[in-house]
Amino acid sequence: MAHTSNQGRREHDARVDRQLANGVIGPDRGCAYHPCHHPSQDCSLCYCPYYPCQDPMLGEWVRSNRDGSPVWSCQPCHWIHRPDVASWILERARERGASNAEELRRSVPKAEVEAIFRRRATSIMVLGTTSGAGKSLMVAALCRILSDMNIRAIPFKSQNMSLNSCVTEDGDEISRIQELQARAARVSPMGCMNPILLKPMGDDRSQIVAEGRPLRDIDVATYYGEFTLGEGLDIVRRNLEIVRSLGDAVVIEGAGSPAEVNIYDRDISNMRVAAMADAPCVLVVNIEAGGAFAHVVGTLALLPEPDRQRVMGIIINNMRGDPECLSPGIERVEAMTGVPVLGVVPHVELNLPDEDSMGIAARSGDGPYVAVIRLPRISNFTDLDALAMEGASIHFVTSPEELEKADMIVIPGTKNTVADLAWLRITGLAEAIVSLRGRVPILGICGGYQMIGSRVEDPLGLEGTAGDHIGLGLLNAVTRFQKYGKRTVQVTGIHLSTGSPVRGYEIHMADTEIGGHEPLFLLGDGERRHPEGACSEDMVFGTYVHGCLDLPGFRRHLLSLCGKSPAGIAPPVPDEVMETSLDRLAAAVKEALDMERLLDIMGLRTCAG
């Protein structure tokens, strides 16, 4: 709408007046144009009191389709429709007695709102030479170090490929590692910290979770061919702006290697983000597998010049043994690349969740032998970390023979229940699991819960072929996939048979009827209290609650059903373990790195005092 005329101006302001009277209305999902700016938008100030602000950061002049006259388009504005901004403006307006558009503009000037909500944080980007270089934990460490210095740090990773996700308080699904980083920064995790989450479904396809919500499934060619530079780039830009307004320093994590020459021009997770945020970069390399110098030199040599200049330092990570022996290598690399090595970080043993889908390995303990079925599309396997803390020995198994020693079986979550159910049958695991019914406790979580039921109905083929699929029949439960959508919610409640508290989150696309079994948990409170999960007398347990083993009650109950009793020492609560781990990690990184130089690179030296 053009407000070049006085009449247009008056009409617009009249609408602003009505909005002022209505107050905060939240998102107007009934509106035909919703969401016209961004999915999480608040529509209370649909008609912007500051329109046309002509702020080049927020919009541009375009030509009207109707008559070619100039129109101020604020489509890219990421600001006025943020829930926190909209409600803040409306509250101030009420306090200050503004009852119409004109008074609002006078009593709550745009500049004042901006001073609070458009502060733009300084930033730094952590790149890696490969996946598993240790970027994620380096970001967590920097967040904790900055937080310890009273600098509000916000983690950000534009695109993450992971099957380990969790749900924020707002119901947004983000990668588990960004949640950990937020915890390290002592800020609440938010969808904007990981605006694109790719959950591999196998066979080149992934589910895109954008801004915390499932968007659609996509194949890799379309992702890089169409999505990244279009919709993807908008999502990243918008959310980067949001995180930059939330804190003092944004610590950005890259993805994989920034030097993938085949997708360089379509990569929206590395140098393009650095450029967008004008962030200096540090390059992390994991020395453990060897070839670290080659990885660093090769990565820097393959970056085009303007991007290469952003790389201000190198961090050698995961060093075992004496860092002194690296000196000749470090000197040569510094001489060849002109980029200083900021430090050599030692290998630190931590109790933190696994980084990504590749970090699966057997963990040992002397306690009960817990066989975790290593489904081809396994997800959320961090659920098992808590069992290891009780001294259980966790084994990821792929064949029936490996179940012989099992004191307990866990069927974890999966990105594709139907396909992995078929895999269970092909491998003979299905039969072996059923034969152990009643002899050892069997726990199915999420996808595993669906599999141990009697049937999985997928009339629309959301998991592949449409139709009904026969489950393992350990429970009578029936699971139904009905629509493309997802339940993502944090939950708390109690484990019914012990009365002990349970806490976790649910991420699933189907619903399950428990078919006459006793429920496992009672979740929620007051009127919203509801049963969840199922258990049978022959020690079969099913639930959608990821993290149900994090609190001790339920997991000890399960372990007590195993032949062997859990190790006698009372394990610490995972939250505390995580905090200690984060502190130890931050201390090790702080000790190893030239922090003064790093803060200088970030432009934070003055804040460091």
Measured from the Cβ of residue 557, the count of other Cβ atoms closer than 10 Å reads: 15
Q: Would you count residue 131 as binding other proteins (CB under 8 A)?
A: yes
Site string for other proteins, 241-260 (x = CB under 8 A): ---------------xx-xx
Q: Give the span between the Cα atoms of 232 and 268, in whole angstroms.
A: 8
- State the number of binding residues for other proteins (CB under 8 A): 45
Binding residue for other proteins (CB under 8 A) from 129, 162, 207, 239? 129
* Pick from 468, 508, 507: nearest CA to 490: 507
**409 near 403, Cβ under 8 Å?**
yes
Q: Would you count residue 361 as binding other proteins (CB under 8 A)?
A: yes
Binding residue for other proteins (CB under 8 A) from 162, 299, 382, 414? 299
Map the footprint of other proteins across residues 335-354, applying CB under 8 A. Answer: 336
Secondary element (H or E) of residue 283: strand 281-286
Active site residue 446: yes
Binding residue for other proteins (CB under 8 A) from 84, 112, 169, 204? 204
Binding residue for other proteins (CB under 8 A) from 1, 31, 62, 358? 358
Q: Would you count residue 329 as binding other proteins (CB under 8 A)?
A: yes
Query: Who contacts 369 (Cβ-Cβ below 8 Å, separation ≥6)?
Result: 392, 393, 395, 405, 406, 407, 408
Q: Pick the catalytic residue: 78, 495, 517, 546?
A: 546
Map the footprint of other proteins across residues 541-570, applying CB under 8 A. Answer: none
Q: Compute the least distance from the CB of residue 447 to other proteins, in Å.
A: 21
| Six token digits for residue 564 | 């062997």
Q: Would you count residue 128 as binding other proteins (CB under 8 A)?
A: yes
Strands (E) across 12-163 are located at 60-63, 70-73, 122-128, 153-156, 159-161
Place of tokens 């000790």: 591
Q: Give the span between the Cα atoms of 370 and 372, in whole angstroms.
A: 6
In terms of DSSP bridges, do strands 369-373 and 408-411 run parallel, antiparallel, or are they unpaired?
parallel
**For other proteins, the closer CB: 65 or 262:** 262
**548 near 383, Cβ under 8 Å?**
yes
Binding residue for other proteins (CB under 8 A) from 56, 97, 306, 328? 328
Strand-pair partners of 165: 175
DSSP 3-state of 497: coil
Q: Would you count residue 293 as binding other proteins (CB under 8 A)?
A: yes
In terms of DSSP bridges, do strands 455-458 and 501-508 run parallel, antiparallel, or are they unpaired?
unpaired
Q: Give the span between the Cα atoms of 139 and 156, in whole angstroms.
A: 9
| Six token digits for residue 466 | 């449409």
| Six token digits for residue 72 | 């101020």
Q: Would you count residue 296 as binding other proteins (CB under 8 A)?
A: yes
Q: Would you count residue 221 as binding other proteins (CB under 8 A)?
A: yes
- Gyration radius from the chain CA atoms: 26
Measured from the Cβ of residue 609, the count of other Cβ atoms closer than 10 Å reads: 6
DSSP structure class, residue 44: T
**For other proteins, the closer CB: 248 or 385:** 385
**For other proteins, the closer CB: 57 or 301:** 301
Active site residue 548: no
Q: Which stretch binds other proteins (CB under 8 A): 136-144, 323-331, 505-513, 585-593?
A: 323-331
**For other proteins, the closer CB: 149 or 330:** 330
Q: Compute the least distance from the CB of residue 406 to other proteins, in Å.
A: 15
Strand-pair partners of 369: 393
Instruction: Give how far the C-alpha of residue 513 lies from the chain's centroid of Cα atoms, to the nearest Å.
Output: 29
Map the footprint of other proteins across residues 489-508, applying CB under 8 A. Answer: none
Q: Would you count residue 322 as binding other proteins (CB under 8 A)?
A: yes
Q: Which stretch binds other proteins (CB under 8 A): 139-147, 309-317, 319-327, 510-518?
A: 319-327
| Six token digits for residue 348 | 């630190």
Binding residue for other proteins (CB under 8 A) from 297, 561, 587, 588? 297
Distances (CA, A) of 146 to 93, 139, 335, 367, 593: 35, 10, 30, 39, 14
Q: Pick the catalytic residue: 446, 535, 548, 562?
A: 446
**For other proteins, the closer CB: 283 or 433:** 283
* Phi, psi (rounded to 5 degrees) for 68: 75, 5
Binding residue for other proteins (CB under 8 A) from 215, 220, 350, 595? 220
Q: Which stretch binds other proteins (CB under 8 A): 113-121, 180-188, 261-269, 587-595?
A: 261-269
Q: Compute the least distance from the CB of residue 332 to other proteins, in Å.
A: 5
Amino acid symbol at 300: L
Q: Would you count residue 306 as binding other proteins (CB under 8 A)?
A: no
Binding residue for other proteins (CB under 8 A) from 362, 460, 466, 470? 362
Q: Give the span between the Cα atoms of 319 and 321, in whole angstroms.
A: 6
Q: Would you count residue 72 as binding other proteins (CB under 8 A)?
A: no
Q: Which stretch binds other proteins (CB under 8 A): 53-61, 219-227, 383-391, 571-579?
A: 219-227
* Pick from 533, 528, 526: nearest CA to 511: 533
Binding residue for other proteins (CB under 8 A) from 37, 183, 295, 546? 295
Site string for other proteins, 163-202 (x = CB under 8 A): ----------------------------------------
Count of alpha carbons within 13 angstroms of residue 292, beta-carbon side: 24
Q: Compute the least distance from the CB of residue 241 to other proteins, in Å.
A: 27
Length of the chain: 609
In terms of DSSP bridges, do strands 501-508 and 487-495 run parallel, antiparallel, or are they unpaired?
antiparallel
Binding residue for other proteins (CB under 8 A) from 112, 219, 538, 575? 219
Binding residue for other proteins (CB under 8 A) from 8, 109, 304, 321? 321
Q: Would you count residue 288 as binding other proteins (CB under 8 A)?
A: yes
Strand-pair partners of 417: none
**For other proteins, the closer CB: 21 or 221:** 221
Q: Compute the least distance from the CB of residue 426 to other proteins, in Å.
A: 12
Q: Would you count residue 364 as binding other proteins (CB under 8 A)?
A: yes
Secondary element (H or E) of residue 249: strand 249-253
Residues lying near other proteins in the complex (CB under 8 A): 128-132, 204, 219-221, 224, 256-257, 259-263, 288-299, 301-302, 321-322, 325-329, 332-333, 336, 358, 361-362, 364
Q: Which residues are catalytic?
A: 446, 546
